[in-house]
Chains A and B, each alone.
Chain A
């Protein structure tokens, strides 16, 4: 794993997002969906739909990171693109009822940083191993 930056990134980000998803369940209160939510670590606003998304993304990244380099590369790229899309859409839905994940500024910064690292790793690194097939 230490030779593959994609597996390293997927495993670390997966573990962190799983932890964030679990911790978020304790602070979201009765907010399941919508603009209102609880504050995680006093900064990141989450509701339960947001927590479920974190848990699913964390599980996907962690599984891919522990599985293989091509799986980690594909998952990093996909999740990075989704986060980037979320960040762009967030500009247009800020302050409207469409903000069903209760996203705030800190969430956007975290998603942007995650998108940069995940997309960068997925698109630019491990190119030689992406097409390699495991020996059978």
Chain B
């Protein structure tokens, strides 16, 4: 159970990291640098969680909380700077980071109890859990990434293969 919870936390941290990096790529420099660094930190948390490494709590929580704290700080201190941070992606990032933090904290609590600790999940349960949580995180992260500056530049579906020609004088 603790291993599956840790998997969920790791995948949520990965989704949060991707959004933080994508938002940081188009933000003003004083917001971009900490956002990209936080994203890199969240990727490190993801690797540690997947591997089962027990990092000190501040090292896990700091990169997860930093983008949301920075966003709130920017909203209060510099509204024009905060305007470079898109609302929906930052909300999605905060939700995923919070979910990751909760899952990793729950994993720690379960792991502290030897009676409830499991060494490795069953193969099928692990794969199904991984696929399910990957679907949920991709479902949250993908619209958020599309809402970033990088997402708005990406080629839309069907741009090169399909031309929609609407005949306004069809007469039906």
Residues of A within 8 A of B (CB): 2-5, 8-9, 35-39, 42-43, 45, 84, 87-88, 90-92, 94-95, 102-106, 108-109, 112-113, 115-117, 119-121, 123-125, 127-128
Contacts and interface: CB of A to CB of B under 8 A. Distances in A.
A124 B126 contact: yes
A109 B142 contact: yes
Interface string B144-172: 01101011011111111110000000000
B161 A116 contact: no
A120 B151 contact: no
Interface string B59-86: 0000000000000000000000000000
A90 B51 CA distance: 26
B158 A39 contact: yes
Main secondary structure of the interface of B (DSSP, over half): helix
Given A95-B153, A123-B51, 11 more contacts: A5-B124, A35-B155, A43-B158, A84-B14, A91-B145, A92-B25, A94-B151, A94-B153, A94-B154, A120-B130, A125-B121
Contacts of B137: 116
Contacts of A109: 138, 142
30 contacts: A4-B123, A5-B124, A8-B127, A37-B160, A38-B160, A39-B160, A39-B161, A84-B43, A91-B21, A91-B25, A94-B150, A94-B153, A94-B154, A95-B153, A105-B155, A105-B157, A106-B157, A112-B138, A113-B135, A116-B11, A116-B130, A116-B134, A116-B138, A117-B131, A119-B14, A119-B50, A123-B10, A123-B50, A124-B51, A125-B127
Q: Most chain-B Cβ atoms within 10 A of its Cβ — which of A90, A125, A128?
A: A125
Contacts of A2: 123
Contacts of B119: 128
B7 interface: yes
